[in-house]
A and B are shown apart, each in its own frame.
Chain A
Amino acid sequence: MSGRVLVGVKRVIDYAVKIRVKPDNTGVVTDGVKHSMNPFCEIAVEEAVKLKEKKLIKEVVAVSCGPQQSQETIRTALAMGADRGIHVDVSGKDYENLGPLQVSKILAALAKQEDAQLILLGKQAIDDDCNQTGQMTAALLDWPQGTFASEVSLEGDKINLVREIDGGLEHIKINTPAVITADLRLNTPRYATLPNIMKAKKKKIVTVKPADLGVDVTSRLEVLKVEEPPQRQAGMKVETVEDLVVKLKEAGRV
């Protein structure tokens, strides 16, 4: 086993920014808006670095797909303790249409190229909320997947995982190599320290193009329209429970 972990990190609009829809309804405003690493990706990086500190894995490689600015996100991962970075350069229209299917094809190709033992991702990105990349990557590689992980422990060449599911907590054991997606309670990401930020400057980031990995990034999806959620309507008061049931039936809710 190579002892190498690939961690996917996505550059997204910062969680605290108020999102505005573009006037032409083709998307949201991203120019000049503050961006940062997707919070679930931060948790994934933290888990990878923890595994390395426990000496269970040997190398953490941070990967990001996007334009030049994605390198900032990789640098943050390096400052948290990743060893090196791979920036998959996707810009312009390709970047606007980049979705989970293309990213998972890229990650699958990189996993093979880097001989990765484990792929750690955030469960979803806070911009599109797709929650698909981890699952698709596992399918493309025909690897087991441990999604919504709230606890991860390595045991030999197997992984014990606790998953947060609707019914409660599910304990599973999967083989490696595998894909794990991080949920909120997996860990609390560390702050990068000043010395680590400075060390991160010396770590390498390699840039590749999707074509180099044999991946076609054309999208199979077309965004028709992006609009704000409807304004909240006023509610209605009713006198009796019977009235409530009648109204619910009228609205087609029951």
Chain B
Amino acid sequence: MAAVGALSRIARLGSRICKNRVTLSGNSQRRGIAACIDPSHGLTDEQKEFQKVAFDFAANEMAPHMAEWDQKEIFPVETMRKVAQLGFGGIYVQPDVGGSGLSRLDTSIIFEALSTGCVSTTAYISIHNMCAWMIDSYGNKEQREKFCPDLCSMEKFASYCLTEPGSGSDAASLLTSAQRKGDHYVLNGSKAFISGGGDTDVYVVMCRTGGKGPKGISCLVVEKGTPGLSFGKKEKKVGWNSQPTRAVIFEDCAVPVANRLGEEGQGFNFAMKGLNGGRINIASCSLGAAHASVQLARDHLLVRKQFGETLSNNQFLQFKLAEMATKLVASRLLIREAAQALQEDRPDAVAICSMAKLFATDECFNICNQALQMHGGYGYLKDYAVQQFVRDIRVHQILEGTNEVMRMIISRNLLSES
């Protein structure tokens, strides 16, 4: 566990920034907990246990490699399989097919903690979880038994395919077609920006089996190696570099009808339901990054001296740090409330999940950005973790529904006649 790992590691380097940059990315700094932003407030004993395991794992197994995975664009398969051994491969998937059967709130807590170790990898794990959940919730007995156990153990990895070059926010206008031919569908079209694309084994694909609009969309599970399934080039991204992103291309790709989740025309429904949870998960990842960044900023202010005293004596920076901490806690509360609402299937769940995603991804990005600013020139160097947090969570304001689309959903909830 964390403590032993730290003790075994070579003695802590000194805290002088200029000489020992690497330390600031090290685990020991991140574990110092300031009481007011302690993420374990209000949790049950059991949730605190989950959180502790996730934090320990993040500190020991992910944080030391976060920079390398980013710079070398490594998809950390072995580390993710260790994550799965802890039960994090299918957190809210039912236990009878290998999942952990936990709640949305438990899931949020876990992803928040893992994210402090590496946002990009945790975000991929959350996408993988969503795919496993989709098959678990909407698949029939055969499909659940065929796919879920391997996904929960991460023996196989999953990708979620909804977005296309021509349909992002306007997801219902997707064009990838699936023509019924006997006991197969033949798929033609392409998906864009698919996380894990090309390296993963199981693709949950939204495609058009019927007419235009949402009601013509169905959900098919496509396995890697199916003839007609190919991938585009690996995209070069600003962040999220520990997961490959590629276009997924279907050219007369035959997929058994037995791989369809639910009925024809239900796909869009599943997608929207999946996004509610996905939004909480992505927001939780932003939260973890912001939490780590606040701690990095705080530690830096206590050490860095200018004008004869530590930066922590500067009132502007004190106030800025206070604002960052306040927005962090506010984001956390909103996300956890949204998780509860989703778990309880409350009527306002969709709107609250959108609010949580909107607020938390925006605020947490600002927090990380501000933390970078507080590091001065050092914050811009890749030796320091804070720039990676900024780069990694920037995209959270865009995917899983842009923050603009979140506003659409919320205003619709407010303005529609009930």
Interface, chain A (partner B; CB < 8 A): 14-18, 32, 34, 36, 39, 42-43, 72, 75-76, 79, 126, 184-185, 188-195, 197-198, 200-201
A196 to B102 alpha-carbon distance, docked (Å): 13
A189 touches B1 (CB 8 A): yes
Q: Which of B5, B35, B86 contacts A194 (CB 8 A)?
A: B86
Asked whether B371 is an interface residue with its Cβ less than 8 Å from the other chain, the reply is no
Given A189-B1, A193-B87, decide whether A34 and B53 contact each other with a Cβ distance below 8 A.
no
A9 to B48 alpha-carbon distance, docked (Å): 19
A39 touches B85 (CB 8 A): no
**New A-B pairs, 13, CB < 8 Å, besides A188-B4, A197-B46, A198-B46:** A17-B32, A32-B35, A34-B33, A36-B3, A39-B4, A42-B4, A191-B53, A193-B53, A193-B87, A194-B100, A194-B102, A197-B49, A201-B46
B37-63, CB under 8 A of A: which get 1 and which 0?
A: 010000001101110110011000000
Q: Which of A16, A184, A188, A192 contacts B28 (CB 8 A)?
A: A16
Interface, chain B (partner A; CB < 8 A): 1-8, 27-28, 31-33, 35, 38, 45-46, 48-50, 52-53, 56-57, 85-88, 91, 95, 100, 102
Given A75-B45, A194-B88, A194-B100, decide whether A189 and B35 contact each other with a Cβ distance below 8 A.
no
Q: List 15 A-B contacts (CB under 8 A).
A: A15-B3, A15-B7, A16-B3, A16-B31, A16-B32, A34-B33, A39-B7, A72-B48, A75-B49, A126-B3, A194-B87, A194-B88, A195-B87, A195-B95, A198-B100
* A residues in contact with B35, CB < 8 Å: 32
Q: Which of B28, B32, B86 contacts A191 (CB 8 A)?
A: B86
A194 touches B4 (CB 8 A): no
* B residues in contact with A189, CB < 8 Å: 1, 4
Chain B residue nearest to A187 in the complex (CB): B4
* B residues in contact with A34, CB < 8 Å: 33, 38
B1 touches A79 (CB 8 A): no
Q: Which of A14, A36, A184, A197 contacts B7 (CB 8 A)?
A: A184
A34 to B37 alpha-carbon distance, docked (Å): 13
Chain B residue nearest to A36 in the complex (CB): B3
A193 touches B4 (CB 8 A): no
A150 to B315 alpha-carbon distance, docked (Å): 51
Question: Which 8 pairs between the two chains have the least Cβ-Cβ distance?
Answer: A194-B87, A16-B31, A39-B3, A194-B100, A15-B3, A197-B49, A193-B86, A39-B4
B170 → A minimal CB distance (Å) = 38
B45 → A minimal CB distance (Å) = 7
B86 touches A76 (CB 8 A): no
Chain B residue nearest to A195 in the complex (CB): B87
A194 to B88 alpha-carbon distance, docked (Å): 8
B4 touches A184 (CB 8 A): yes
A197 touches B50 (CB 8 A): yes
Q: Find the residue from B1, B35, B102 having the highest chain A CB count within 10 A.
A: B1
Q: Which of A32, A76, A126, A184 contacts B49 (CB 8 A)?
A: A76
A16 touches B4 (CB 8 A): no
* A residues in contact with B95, CB < 8 Å: 195
B3 touches A193 (CB 8 A): no
* B residues in contact with A200, CB < 8 Å: 49
Q: Which of A43, A72, A76, A195 contacts B4 (CB 8 A)?
A: A43
A14 touches B31 (CB 8 A): yes
A191 touches B57 (CB 8 A): yes
Q: Which of A18, A32, A184 contacts B8 (CB 8 A)?
A: A184
B50 touches A72 (CB 8 A): no
A123 to B175 alpha-carbon distance, docked (Å): 65
Given A184-B7, A184-B8, decide whether A191 and B1 contact each other with a Cβ distance below 8 A.
yes
